[in-house]
Amino acid sequence: MLTRMNGLTRWFAFAAIAILMTGCSTVVVQPPPGASSSARPAPNHEAGTYTVVKGDTLYSIAFRNGTDFREVARLNGIAPPYTIWPGQVLKLSGHGAAPAIVHAPPPAPSAPVFQTVEPTPAATTPSPSPAHASSVVPAPVAMTHPAPSASTAPVAHSNAPIPAAATAAAPVVAASGSTRSAGGVKWRWPAAGQVIGRFQASAAIPGIDIAGKAGEPVVAAADGTVVYSGNGLVGYGELIIIKHNDSFLSAYGHNRKRLVTEGQQVKAGQQIAEMGSSGSSRDELQFQIRKDGNPVDPLDYLPSR
């Protein structure tokens, strides 16, 4: 009797296992709600257009696309102080669409929220001079909905390799205090290190690389107004852009820490950031000068050493 019961028990056990195996072959596992929101693909941009995201300014969009901010404003009928909104689609001329930035979709619209402005350390904020009191200060990007939960992040660094001829050139060492007037701007060196990467107009990031150590000061190359302070441009890490006049902008990338905010007026030689390696594999300053939206060789404008 006991032997018969053991046999029946084993039979039922085998039957149960067979049923379970058959059922498992048809089960479809659904991902938990919201599980894929952080891995959404970058939005598709129509050729020749760009969709504004949180943190953008008209200057940063124009800079990213190698065009002049006034041209972008003209194409889209945007008047000073150049206010733009997340979700707004801007037309771009002759430079193609801006690189897509991965970001989570916004929640349902609610009360307007404006771009957050970081407090500026008192020690680095001088009083604006009368000569610059009338400079155009870009308005912050107006928000029509709360900021997305996932913040915009920089994409992997993509500097073009430096030719052998450039690396073989004698290193350039910073000379403190010297200035040079060019293009209606009085320029000075933004950092005290050696130039380890020379200008190449065809490079993905056309400027010069200045060596240094993490935390060393990065200073404004000339008087001007900060028109971008953020980390939303591909390959630049923590980036600052300064407008010097209607023709000239300068840009300072790979910083460890930004010390100025958009709309702030700065003086030549004033510290604006700490050197770092954000968006780069080494501590350095990636420095650019743009004239009417086009990159130019900073060594043609900076003083001799």
Task: Return the CATH number at 200.
Answer: 2.70.70.10
Count how many domains the chain has. Answer: 1
In this prediction, residue 168 carries a pLDDT of 38
Is residue 20 in a domain?
A: no
290 close to 297: Cβ distance less than 8 angstroms:
no
Is residue 107 in a domain?
A: no
Is residue 137 in a domain?
A: no
Q: Residue 280 sits in which domain range?
A: 164-300
Is residue 251 in a domain?
A: yes
Is residue 272 in a domain?
A: yes
Is residue 142 in a domain?
A: no
On the question of pLDDT at 39 being above 50, the answer is no
Question: What span, in angstroms and rounded, lies between the C-alpha atoms of 14 and 22?
Answer: 12
Cα angle 232, 56, 189 (rounded to 5 degrees) comes to 65
Is residue 18 in a domain?
A: no
Q: Which one, of 90, 87, 86, lies nearest residue 55 by Cα?
A: 86
Question: What span, in angstroms and rounded, lies between the C-alpha atoms of 25 and 296?
Answer: 63
The pLDDT tens digits for 236-290 are 999 999 999 999 999 999 999 999 999 999 999 999 999 999 999 999 999 999 9
Pick the range with the lowest mean pLDDT from 27-36, 70-79, 251-260, 275-284.
27-36
Rounded to the nearest 10°, the torsion over CA 12, 14, 18, 21 is 120
Three-state DSSP class for 216? coil
Which residue shows structure tokens 């501590």?
Answer: 283
Query: pTM value?
Result: 0.60
In this prediction, residue 177 carries a pLDDT of 72
In this prediction, residue 11 carries a pLDDT of 56
On the question of pLDDT at 225 being above 70, the answer is yes
Pick the range with the lowest mean pLDDT from 10-14, 133-137, 245-249.
133-137
Q: CA dist 115 to 57, 60, 84, 106, 150, Å?
A: 10, 15, 11, 15, 15
Question: What span, in angstroms and rounded, lies between the C-alpha atoms of 72 and 51?
Answer: 13
Three-state DSSP class for 266? strand
In this prediction, residue 30 carries a pLDDT of 34
Model confidence at 93, pLDDT cuts 50, 70, 90, reads: confident
User: For residues 135 and 185, which has the higher predicted lDDT (pLDDT)?
Assistant: 185
Is residue 176 in a domain?
A: yes
In this prediction, residue 3 carries a pLDDT of 52
